[in-house]
A and B are shown apart, each in its own frame.
Chain A
């Protein structure tokens, strides 16, 4: 009896499986399309212009009223659009990290090279950095949230299209191909259908509970590039959040590749330091 039931059940499943597949594909678009949307969104978030600099102010806030401030000048240069990048960061605040510099050579497909310069002892220290999810300067943003996660690292599916704060939005779910490559189980992204700006992102932990929420609070065009000048990352599980403002944003400064070197770490040239 049980055996016959199993056969019937299997037949029903087999019959409906392809139809279910077709049905969901019609709703979600092809996985390739969703990945293409994420790739274009990453280009807008992290690759606009050949290079870019900004004064970044981060306010780290806790629910008990605690506040810490991180101020830095961030400069980046694309070695290849959508591919390798170089970042240079000069810390301005707080006092204990003032004048520290940080250099990152980022490769989407392997670990970044990172160097930290500690001015008090004139030491250039190579940083072991295999964890892209570790916190950036103690904030709720991880390294990956600041410099981007390669679209190829996740499987993407278009969940739906919807209106979000008056904008036409594509809602995409992304699941890491390698669970160990991320600290989230999956994430859901709200992407502007018109200009591919990321307006909101929800990170769910490996048990499926909401852990962090990213929101773009102000986006404005700078030199023709839509630029997220105010953003927030909130850890909904701890109640801690970080508000980040990008000021004096400039694109296409014409920075040479050689500027992203040990020389600049030890003695930052004016184009990286102001």
Chain B
């Protein structure tokens, strides 16, 4: 796939002189980003968390009858992993075979739901490593190889996504960021990366095709949605001690969300029932339990160009008793309720060309969290720079942010768009 992306990218670049003749639209950016650790991490050999140059090429070509071909890929020179790489971000075809149907086929980024950096019904792959080391927000999302059908019969709208080929989320696995090794019950040692422990992905068979559905409509100023998903966890939350592997257990999700104006701001609520199909009774501690997940969010512009968003997330393990009874001695115990608080504060200055932002997560139940202050500036219409830090804290290595406790980093990004 990488080779294909590289070939497609060079082909695309060679088309540049003909772009205007073909009515192609060609855009992208050249950028550099660097980041380094603020504390010494005994589990990590390198001080750098990021050091890369990127060339992004985006091509789009309108075809007959509202069709469109879209291509976006990055060529990357990576100083941390000391290699060159090509990343095919998106490559899809849009067609509208009828007035009320849109179809998008190919590698595409999919996003839905009401959360800000907290996802319940959005079960499409994400790259949390990129987010935690300070890449720009677009790299939080990873493309899925999928077909999306969107239907607009009138009273409501419907998105139906079929993903024949499973794509996992990127999670910390020891290469740039530390991770908690569930087999040894401690933060992994240097060189001990998750990719060395093998991660078993679901086979690309017809019955493993993931399906995601969203049914939505507006009620005046309010938006309501119902969601359904049948597929697999995107994080490796299943363990196979016999084979020494981690895997992605079967998952079905049923959820709903509402969003609309409240007290001069916007409020949202989202809910999901996570049916962990391979451990419904919750007696297998090696597979994630079924759970209920709730998210309440509220955002308001407190004064001009000063916006605050707060979120409260609750994850309720459904079979906690069975889980606790089956837990081997010495294994870290997850609590029945996991609470997570989120705050985002954004201030725009100088005709909205300077943005100061602060993002904070705090989990009172896991006693962990992170903060991400960032200052960014659009130097000109084409040039931008961002400087920020990610600081993690946590008492236990087994929690989401606790495992990253020694991965605090400072990052700087520069980008020139064309």
- Judge: A and B partners, yes or no: yes
The answer to whether B141 and A122 touch across the interface, beta carbons within 8 angstroms, is yes
Chain A residues near B351 (CB-CB < 8 A): 60, 68, 135, 138-139, 240
**Which among B181-189, B201-209, B375-383, B387-395 touches the partner chain?**
B375-383
A217 within 8 A of B: no
The answer to whether A133 and B304 touch across the interface, beta carbons within 8 angstroms, is yes
Interface size on B, residues (CB 8 A): 47
- Answer whether A130 and B265 are a contact pair too, CB < 8 Å, given A96-B417, A113-B221: yes
The answer to whether A135 and B305 touch across the interface, beta carbons within 8 angstroms, is yes
Given the complex of chains A and B, what is the CA–CA distance between A122 and B158 in angstroms?
16
Chain B residues near A131 (CB-CB < 8 A): 301, 303-304
Given the complex of chains A and B, what is the CA–CA distance between A139 and B352 in angstroms?
9
Chain B residues near A261 (CB-CB < 8 A): 157
A-B contacts, 16 of them at CB < 8 A, read A68-B380, A69-B381, A94-B382, A95-B27, A98-B27, A111-B264, A122-B110, A124-B111, A124-B112, A131-B301, A134-B305, A135-B304, A137-B352, A258-B152, A261-B157, A262-B216
The answer to whether B301 and A95 touch across the interface, beta carbons within 8 angstroms, is no
- Answer whether A128 and B111 are a contact pair too, CB < 8 Å, given A183-B304, A263-B157: no
Contact code string A107-123 (vs B, CB < 8 Å = 1, else 0) = 00001010000001111
The answer to whether A269 and B27 touch across the interface, beta carbons within 8 angstroms, is no
- Answer whether A113 and B261 are a contact pair too, CB < 8 Å, given A138-B351, A138-B353: yes
Contact code string B116-146 (vs A, CB < 8 Å = 1, else 0) = 0000000000000000000001101100000
The answer to whether B29 and A128 touch across the interface, beta carbons within 8 angstroms, is no
Interface residues of A (CB under 8 A from B): 60, 68-69, 93-96, 98, 105, 111, 113, 120-124, 126-131, 133-135, 137-139, 183, 240, 258, 261-263, 267, 269-270
Which residues between 129 and 171 of chain B lie within 8 Å of chain A, taking CB atoms? 137-138, 140-141, 150, 152, 154, 157
Given the complex of chains A and B, what is the CA–CA distance between A93 and B112 in angstroms?
26
Chain B residues near A98 (CB-CB < 8 A): 27
The answer to whether B268 and A120 touch across the interface, beta carbons within 8 angstroms, is no
B66 within 8 A of A: yes
B276 within 8 A of A: no
The answer to whether A122 and B111 touch across the interface, beta carbons within 8 angstroms, is yes
Residue with the highest number of chain A CB atoms closer than 10 Å, among B94, B150, B154, B418: B150
Chain A residues near B352 (CB-CB < 8 A): 135, 137-138
Chain A contact surface mostly? mixed
Given the complex of chains A and B, what is the CA–CA distance between A40 and B403 in angstroms?
64
The answer to whether A128 and B141 touch across the interface, beta carbons within 8 angstroms, is no
> What are the 4 tightest A-B residue pairs by CB atom distance, in nearest-first order?
A95-B417, A138-B352, A94-B381, A120-B138
Given the complex of chains A and B, what is the CA–CA distance between A135 and B301 in angstroms?
13
Cβ distance B363 to chain A, nearest Cβ, rounded Å: 24
Given the complex of chains A and B, what is the CA–CA distance between A261 and B157 in angstroms?
10
B61 within 8 A of A: no
Given the complex of chains A and B, what is the CA–CA distance between A95 and B418 in angstroms?
7
Cβ distance B186 to chain A, nearest Cβ, rounded Å: 35
- Answer whether A95 and B381 are a contact pair too, CB < 8 Å, given A121-B138, A126-B266, A263-B102: yes
Cβ distance B111 to chain A, nearest Cβ, rounded Å: 5
B210 within 8 A of A: no
Residue of B nearest to A139 (CB): B351
Cβ distance A149 to chain B, nearest Cβ, rounded Å: 16
Cβ distance A225 to chain B, nearest Cβ, rounded Å: 30
The answer to whether B157 and A128 touch across the interface, beta carbons within 8 angstroms, is no
Chain B residues near A137 (CB-CB < 8 A): 352
The answer to whether A121 and B140 touch across the interface, beta carbons within 8 angstroms, is yes
The answer to whether B264 and A130 touch across the interface, beta carbons within 8 angstroms, is yes
B357 within 8 A of A: no
Contact code string B259-270 (vs A, CB < 8 Å = 1, else 0) = 101001110100
The answer to whether B111 and A95 touch across the interface, beta carbons within 8 angstroms, is no
Chain A residues near B288 (CB-CB < 8 A): none
The answer to whether B382 and A95 touch across the interface, beta carbons within 8 angstroms, is yes
- Answer whether A270 and B66 are a contact pair too, CB < 8 Å, given A96-B384, A121-B141, A131-B303: yes
Chain A residues near B384 (CB-CB < 8 A): 96
Cβ distance B92 to chain A, nearest Cβ, rounded Å: 11
Residue of B nearest to A62 (CB): B351
Residue of A nearest to B216 (CB): A262
Cβ distance B60 to chain A, nearest Cβ, rounded Å: 9
The answer to whether B381 and A93 touch across the interface, beta carbons within 8 angstroms, is yes
B366 within 8 A of A: no
- Answer whether A134 and B301 are a contact pair too, CB < 8 Å, given A98-B27, A121-B140: yes
B300 within 8 A of A: yes
Residue of B nearest to A94 (CB): B381
Chain A residues near B301 (CB-CB < 8 A): 128-131, 134
Which residues between 382 and 413 of chain B lie within 8 Å of chain A, taking CB atoms? 382, 384
B315 within 8 A of A: no
